[in-house]
Amino acid sequence: MWALLAAALYALSTPVAKILLDDADPGVLAALLYLGAGGGMAAIALLRRLAVRGPRRGPGLPGLSRADLPYVVVMVGLDVLAPILLLLGLDRAEAANVALLNNFEIVATTVIASLVFGERHGLRL
């Protein structure tokens, strides 16, 4: 059920963003979308914490080292730039082209993960 809901919301995000771009600047809309996503995740975290009635500690994860800092900075920078560029392109492109590129993004991400990062995947993928 959650996978179908996620797929439906993902499919709706592009046409809704295209409509919202009629009244909002791409940078402002990207910021609002980030605020909405952060608020939603904060609400989910709060609901989970209330449902568990106290913090649950799992196995500890290793922290970031000083050597990881350049990668984190680049990743955060790209994570800020990507939705702004996406919305700029969405504002200037035809809806059909955007839909095709949006579907291609999933394929391209899979290919990059396999070829560049050596990600393993099964036959089902």
Instruction: Report if pTM > 0.75.
Output: no
pLDDT in tens, 45-68: 899 888 876 556 666 678 888 999
Output the CA torsion 68→71→74→77 (10° steps).
-60
pLDDT in tens, 22-36: 999 999 999 998 899
Contacts of 89 (CB under 8 A, 6+ apart): 98, 101
Overall average pLDDT of the 110-116 stretch: 91
Burial class of residue 2, CB neighbours in 10 A (0-12, 13-18, 19+): exposed
Q: Look-up: residue for tokens 């680049």? A: 74
Token output for 67? 């050597």
Q: How far apart are CA 125 and CA 117, in angstroms?
A: 16
